[in-house]
Amino acid sequence: MGRLYAATGDGIARLDEGNSSWTGELSLGGSGAQCLALDPRDPDVVYAGLRERGVRRTIDGGRSWVDCPVPEPGVFSLAVSVADGVVYAGSEPSRLFRSDDRGGSWRELEALLELPSRPTWRFPPRPWTSHVRWIAPSPHDADLILVGIELGGLMRSTDGGDTWEDHRPGAQRDVHSLAWHPHCRGRAYEAGGGGAAFSDDAGATWRAADDGRDRHYTWSVAVDEADPELWYVSASTGPFAAHGRGDPEAHIYRRRAGEPWSHVRDGLPEPLPAMPYALVTGGGRLFCGLADGQIWESTDRGDSWRVCTLTGERPTSLHALAYAEA
C-alpha cells in the first residue's frame, strides 16, 4: 500500500491507499502550502513550503505541524537529501537555506547570490524578482546540489553550497523541475520553459532532449527507478495555456533509449482538463497530479492509465505531489 502527499496551494493533503481507493485527509488549511518535501527515511516526516509563512514540519504524517522559522517567508521549493538528510529551502526573492537539524535552524547559502548572472534573474510575471524554483541534492553525493532559478538558470555546487557554478552549458535557463536517477550515478534530468535536457556528468553539462514533442513548455519531470533511459515530462504549448483557466493544451510524454519522445494517452482524458503539475515515480508506479486535484496512475510505465479514486477529504487543486510506500 502507498501514501501520497499533495501541496494544494492552500494546505497539504495526505492520501492513504486502500483496496480500491485513496482516503484523503487535509491539514494546514489556509496556510498557502505550495511545495513539499518528503523525508526519504520516514514517510511520516514531511516539510511544507508556504507562500508567505515559511516552512512547517510534521513527524506524524500531517496530523500536527510545527513551525520551522526560515529567514525568508516566501518558500517556493524544498528538498530533503537522500544522502545525508539535510533539508533545503528556496525562496522568493531568490535565496537558498540549509538545515542540518530538521528545520530547527537554517544557514543561508549566500554564495548563490554572488554568481555573475544574478543581476539578470527575472520571473516574467513579477519581473522585479525571481525565485528558487527547484532544489535537487544528489542522492549519491551529499556535497552535490543542483538549483533551478525561475528565471535565471541551472546552478551547481560540489561543496554543499559553499560555492556555486553559474548556469550550466546546455541546460534550460527557465528551470521548472529537476531530478536525479536514484541508481545511475551522474544522470540528471531537467524540465524547463523551452524544453527538456539531461546530464550524464552529474550536472556539469547538459544536452537538449526535445525530438518528437510538439510542445516545448515542459513543467514536471520524472524518471523510471530501474531504467535511467526511461523518463517522462509534462508539457504545454506555453505558460498562458498551462497556467490559465481554459484548456491547458498539455500532454504527458515518455522517452525511451534511442527513441524520440512519444505522447502517452491510453486511458487519460483527451484533452486533459488541467495542467499535469506533478509526475512522480515509486514502487514501479507512475503518478500524475493535475492542477484540478485529479491524480492518475500507471503501473505499466505509461502504457495505460487509470484515475485514482479519492474518498474522504479530497484536494480540489494540486501544485506538488510526493509518494511513499507506507
Q: Residues 137-178: pLDDT tens digits?
A: 999 999 999 999 999 999 999 999 999 999 999 999 999 999
80 in Cβ contact with 71 (< 8 Å): no
Res 326: pLDDT:
74
How many other CB atoms are found less than 10 A from the CB of residue 4?
27
Residue 279 sits at φ, ψ, to 5 deg, of -120, 130
3 in Cβ contact with 18 (< 8 Å): no
**CA dist., res. 130 & res. 19, Å (int):** 44
CA neighbours within 13 Å on the CB side: how many for 236? 24
Please tell me the pTM assigned to this model: 0.96
Cell representation of residue 222:
520524472
Low-confidence ranges of the chain (pLDDT < 70): none
Res 8: pLDDT:
98
Bridge partners of 17, per DSSP, are: 22
Residue ranges and CATH numbers for the domains of the chain are: 2-325 (2.130.10.10)
- Report the largest interatomic distance among the alpha carbons of the chain, rounded to a whole angstrom: 54
